[in-house]
Amino acid sequence: MKKHNFSAGPCILPQEVLQKASEAILNFNEDNLSLVEISHRSPSFVAVMEKGRQLALELLGLENKGYKALFLQGGASLEFLMVAYNLLEKKAAYLNTGTWSDKAIKEAKAFGEIIEVGSSKDKGFSYIPKEYTLPEDIDYFHCTSNNTIAGTQMKTFPNTNAPLVCDMSSDIFSRQLDFEKFDLIYAGAQKNMGPAGATLIVIKEEILGKVTRHIPSMLNYQTHIDKDSMFNTPSVFAVYVATLTLQWLKDLGGIPFIEKVNDKKAALLYAEIDRNPLFEGVVAKEDRSTMNATFVLTDPSLKDTFDTLWKEAGINGLHGHRSVGGYRASMYNALPLYSVQVLVNTMQTLEKTIK
């Protein structure tokens, strides 16, 4: 039986997507060739790339609004650098809400002045700073919508005239937001979209071309826009699987549908974390992530017993990030509500076991 996969990334994908993807590996489009052995310039693959780019914009409600979608490589980590390379002339503002924001700041510092307008680093990134003001004269504001490691999530985004740049790696396509507010969204595929190897970039084209430095072709968003995301060989398999996942989401009813499911899953698990005296959450309640729920045992000596129980229940990937420990249940789009119920039952079994 398939495991209940709570892995933080790479993570669970819809079973029917994996089925289709495995068929395409052997025989794509019934052409008697594998998806991974045909030219990326073949009409079959170009159609995949175009479909993926179009679905991304459609699901976000950003069609015909000046945005372009790209599937690049290098992960979200390369975007930390590319964002600054393409947009930072003098000064940018960053909100530091977690390990990934912290890394984005570190990369951007090589290109100009970085103002950290708020940070929760002092308290282990256990909350989202809210009382901050953005300077007027910034080239852009950068934030991380969901903090995959700490388990916090931004519920609101500031209004600013400067371009709004957001790392949405771990919650893109999971909830409805006013996406038009954002000028550049990026997300590594492996959290909510597909296998590792592709990064989705959604960018409002008008924010480009404002910096004076020379940008190497591969790191220049304009290059990739001009070449329809085919400047060099894209990661064909990752793009194909991401496209299948986006189609799966669209067929279900898009973001409005999946948001309701995600809210139910999160509500179910957090209710148990709060009810069960053996567990406690580790981040501010109002900032809890619907994607990655972090929690600890109130009695650490129960660790081995609990770990045995959830493994026996067929649960995978519940350990917290190596930098923080504890537990983390990642409940991405493809995780069924039933898997969360199994986890909750296991937490209740622990309670009964020790009584």
Q: Which residues are catalytic?
A: 100, 167, 191
> Applying CB under 6 A, does 330 fall inside the site for ligand PLP?
no
> Applying CB under 6 A, does 169 fall inside the site for ligand PLP?
yes
Strand partners, 5: 316
d(CA 329, CA 92): 33
To the nearest whole angstrom, how small is the minimum distance from the Cβ of residue 169 to ligand PLP? 4
Question: Quick one: 195 or 281, whose CB is closer to ligand PLP?
Answer: 195
CB 145 within 8 A of CB 169: no
The residue written with tokens 């991380």 in the block is: 144
Question: Quick one: 68 or 191, whose CB is closer to ligand PLP?
Answer: 191
Residues 65-84 vs ligand PLP: string with x where CB under 6 A? ----------xxx-------
**What six digits make up the tokens of 224?**
């990739």
d(CA 340, CA 296): 17
Residue type, 157: F
To the nearest whole angstrom, how small is the minimum distance from the Cβ of residue 275 to ligand PLP? 28
> Applying CB under 6 A, does 188 fall inside the site for ligand PLP?
yes
Question: Quick one: 166 or 347, whose CB is closer to ligand PLP?
Answer: 166
Question: Quick one: 166 or 344, whose CB is closer to ligand PLP?
Answer: 166
Spatial CB neighbours of 46, under 8 Å, sequence gap ≥ 6: 40, 230
To the nearest whole angstrom, how small is the minimum distance from the Cβ of residue 164 to ligand PLP? 16
**DSSP summary character for residue 296:** E
The residue written with tokens 């007027």 in the block is: 136
> Applying CB under 6 A, does 195 fall inside the site for ligand PLP?
no
> Applying CB under 6 A, does 107 fall inside the site for ligand PLP?
no
Choice from 5, 86, 97, 144 touching ligand PLP (CB under 6 A): 144
Q: Which stretch binds ligand PLP (CB under 6 A): 114-122, 165-173, 232-240, 283-291?
A: 165-173
Report the 10 Å Cβ neighbour count for 78: 18
Choice from 4, 7, 9, 193 touching ligand PLP (CB under 6 A): 9
> Applying CB under 6 A, does 287 fall inside the site for ligand PLP?
no
> Applying CB under 6 A, does 194 fall inside the site for ligand PLP?
no
Q: How far from the centroid of its chain's Cα atoms is residue 118's Cα?
A: 21
Question: Quick one: 64 or 323, whose CB is closer to ligand PLP?
Answer: 323
Q: Which stretch binds ligand PLP (CB under 6 A): 113-121, 164-172, 300-308, 331-339?
A: 164-172
To the nearest whole angstrom, how small is the minimum distance from the Cβ of residue 37 to ligand PLP? 25
CB 171 within 8 A of CB 290: yes
> Applying CB under 6 A, does 191 fall inside the site for ligand PLP?
yes
CB 169 within 8 A of CB 188: yes
- Cα dihedral: 83, 85, 91, 92 (round 10): 10
Choice from 107, 167, 183, 272 touching ligand PLP (CB under 6 A): 167
d(CA 325, CA 295): 9
Radius of gyration of the chain (CA): 21
CB 185 within 8 A of CB 166: yes
Strand partners, 113: 91
d(CA 103, CA 265): 30
Choice from 170, 235, 243, 346 touching ligand PLP (CB under 6 A): 170
Residue count, binding to ligand PLP (CB under 6 A): 12
> What is the contact surface with ligand PLP in residues (CB under 6 A)?
9, 75-77, 100, 144, 148, 167, 169-170, 188, 191
